[in-house]
Amino acid sequence: MAKMSGPGRRSIAEISREEGISSATLYAWRKAARAEGQLLPDSDDAPEGWSAADKFNAVLETAALSETQLSEYCRRQGLYAAQITRWREACERANDWSATENAQVAKQKRGDRDRIRELERDLSRKEKALAEAAALLILQKKVRALWGEEER
């Protein structure tokens, strides 16, 4: 797994060619290692290819570290301290759902409900008008048939 993580990380395709191991096996090994709690990127890209869960775990793991310990952690993982900082800020923003935003969502829902109610009333009125028009046409045909008038 060392070749799949850290600063010297290489793509699964490269490892597969060098070691003669199928890429499917390497993907399975990476999945198993991630299930055991190792932080490995989802893709072969830079650390930004890490899953949201792995980024969150990295933020949690580094939350109580000193600057020196953070630097060591980053070297082991092939990260920069700025990335951890950016990920921490993203986590903070994601969990900062304010009352203002809740009020806006509630207002939008009320507006949507009112609009739906208005459209349903309009639809009902038009269905009644259509039914009335159909009934009048049928009555008109019956009257003509009774009086023997020709249809126009």
pLDDT digits (tens, 9 = 90+) for 103-128: 888 899 999 999 999 999 999 999 99
Whether residue 31 is predicted with pLDDT greater than 60 in this model: the reply is yes
User: pTM of the predicted model, to two decimals?
Assistant: 0.42
Cα 122 from Cα 129, distance rounded (Å): 11
* Region of 37 on the Ramachandran plot (φ > 0 left; ψ -120 to 50 alpha; else beta): left
Domain boundaries in the chain?
Answer: 2-94
Question: Under 8 Å CB-to-CB from 16, ≥6 apart: which residues?
Answer: 22, 23, 26
Question: How far apart, in whole angstroms, are the C-alpha atoms of residue 11 and residue 6?
Answer: 12
Q: Residue 87 pLDDT > 80, yes or no?
A: yes
CA-CA distance, 68 to 86, in Å (whole number)? Answer: 18
End-to-end C-alpha distance for the chain, whole angstroms: 87
Is the pLDDT at 140 greater than 90? The verdict is yes
